[in-house]
Amino acid sequence: MFKKIAVIGAGIMGHGIAEIVALNGYVVFLCDVSEEILQEATKKIVWSLRKMAEKGKLSEEDLTSTLNRIKTTTSLAEAVKDSELIIEAVPESLELKRELFSKIDRMARPEAILGTNTSSLPISEIAAVTSRPDKVLGIHFFNPPVIMPLVEIVCGDKTSRQTLDSILNFVKTLGKQVVVCKKDVPGFIVNRILEALIQEAAWMVHRGEASILEVDSAVKYRAKLPMGLFELSDYVGIDILYSAGKAIQDRDKGVIVSPLFEEYYKNGWYGRKSGKGFYAYSGGLWERPKIPPELADNVDLKEIFASAVNAAAWLLRNDVVEKEDLDKAVILGLNFPEGILRMADRWGIDVIVQVLRTKQLKYGEYYNPDPLLENMVANNKLGVKTHRGFYEYTQ
C-alpha cells in the first residue's frame, strides 16, 4: 500500500482529503501556491480533529499523530517527489487541471498513480497530457470528505485494471464505500443524475408549472430528501451546478441547463455564499430556508424525477455502472432515502415513460424515453406492480 501521498490543492476539498488520508495512517503532503492558504487549511483541519476529539471519536494521542502525518509545502516538486499516489483537488477548470497534470507527470516517479478529484470533467482529456494515461483516474470525494461515506472512482479510456484495483483497495482503507464509473461519461454517475433532477426542477419553475417552494416542499416532505432541490443548489453553489451542467450539456446533451440557472449564474446569485440564490440568506451558520409542508401535494413527484430516471437508464444501458452501484451512489452521495431505481419501480416504469412521452411532445427530443425503459414496458417489467422492474419483487 502507499507510503507517501500528495494532495495538490488545499481548498475545501483538498484539506478534507488530506485529513481523511492522514487519519487513516498515511503520510500526506498537502501542497498549494501560498503559505497563507496552507495555514488556513491547517487551521480547518485542526478544528475538525478537535471536534472529533470533543465527541470522543478521537484520542488526543491520535489527534497529534494525525497532524504530524500532514506536511505542507508550496513546492509541487517536493510534494510529488517519491509519492506513490497524487490526488489533485484544484478548482474545476479543465485547462488548469491539464496544465497541472503535465507538470506532475514530469516530476513524479514513473509508477505513481495520478488521481483527480473532479466531479464532472473528462478524465481521459486530463490523462492525455501525461505519459501514463493507464495510471490516471478520477477519485471523486464528496463534500465534506471526512464525513461523506462515498467515493466515486472514474475510469478514463486507458485506465488499467491494476490502477483501478490499487485505488479501490486504498479507498476502502479510508473506511469509505466505493462506486465505480466504468466509462468516462459526462457527469459520471452522481452528477449526471443530480443535474438531470435539478435542471428539470428549474425547467418546471421556468415554464410556470410549479414554484420553487412547491418543488422543494414535494421533494423534502414526500420524496423524503434531506433538502429541497433549490435549497440544495444554494448550499452546493449555483455556480458549481451551472458549470457542471454546462460540462455535461456541451459534451453529449445528457442535460440541458435551464434558463433559470443561467439567469442566477450570470447575476452572481450563487446561493448561501453570496447571500442570495433561490432563497435569501442573512449569514447565519445553520440558516435554512423555510419550506412549508402544506405545499408538498401541489406537484407530482414523477414530473420532477422522470428525467433523472431516464438518465439512470442511460447509464445502465451504456454499461457505465452496475445497478447496485447506481442506487448506492444516490443514497450515499446525494442522501436519497432509497435508490432512484427502487423509486422508479415503486412509481411504475410505464408511468415514468408516459410522463417522459408527454414532456417530449411538449418540449422536444431531450425527453425521449431511453430504449431501456421502453423495452422494460414492452416486456411488462413495470416494477413492484408486476413483481419485476429494475429489481425482482416477491408477491
394 located within any domain: no
Query: Can you list the pairs that 90-97 forms with residues at least 24 positions away whose Cβ atoms lie under 8 Å?
Result: 90/8, 90/9, 90/11, 90/14, 91/9, 91/11, 92/118, 92/119, 92/120, 92/121, 92/240, 92/243, 92/244, 94/121, 94/122, 94/125, 94/126, 97/121, 97/126
Round to whole Å and give the CA distance between 349 and 133. 40
356 shares a domain with 221: yes
Residues above pLDDT 70, as percent of the chain: 99
99 located within any domain: yes
123 shares a domain with 233: no
Round to whole Å and give the CA distance between 145 and 327. 20
Tell me which of 123, 157, 181 is where a domain ends: 181
228 shares a domain with 164: no
With cell 427530443, the residue in question is: 365
152 shares a domain with 9: yes
pLDDT in tens, 364-373: 999 999 999 9
pLDDT in tens, 33-62: 999 999 999 999 999 999 999 999 999 999
Domain with residue 36: its CATH number is 3.40.50.720
106 shares a domain with 43: yes
What mean pLDDT do residues 198-224 have? 98
325 shares a domain with 235: yes
156 shares a domain with 240: no
200 shares a domain with 177: no
Phi and psi angles of residue 56, each rounded to the nearest 5 degrees, phi first: 80, 15
pLDDT for 287 equals 86
161 shares a domain with 219: no
Whether 161 has a pLDDT exceeding 90, the answer reads: yes
pLDDT in tens, 326-357: 999 999 999 999 999 999 999 999 999 999 99
Domain with residue 225: its CATH number is 1.10.1040.50
pLDDT for 254 equals 87
Averaged confidence pLDDT in the chain: 96
pLDDT for 361 equals 98
391 located within any domain: no
Whole-angstrom CA distances from 342 to 178, 390, 392, 393 are 20, 7, 10, 11
126 located within any domain: yes
What mean pLDDT do residues 167-175 have? 97
174 shares a domain with 236: no
196 shares a domain with 175: no
Print the domain residue range for 298.
190-386
Question: How many domains is the chain partitioned into structurally?
Answer: 2
392 located within any domain: no
pLDDT for 207 equals 97
Residue length of the chain: 395
Tell me which of 181, 215, 239 is where a domain ends: 181
393 located within any domain: no
Tell me which of 181, 210, 236 is where a domain ends: 181
pLDDT for 329 equals 97
Residues above pLDDT 90, as percent of the chain: 93
336 located within any domain: yes
What would the 3-class secondary structure string for 280-324 be?
ECCCCCCCCCCCCHHHHHHCCHHHHHHHHHHHHHHHHHCCCCCHH
Residues with active-site annotation = 119, 140, 152, 191
225 shares a domain with 359: yes
pLDDT for 283 equals 79
Whether 1 has a pLDDT exceeding 80, the answer reads: no
147 located within any domain: yes
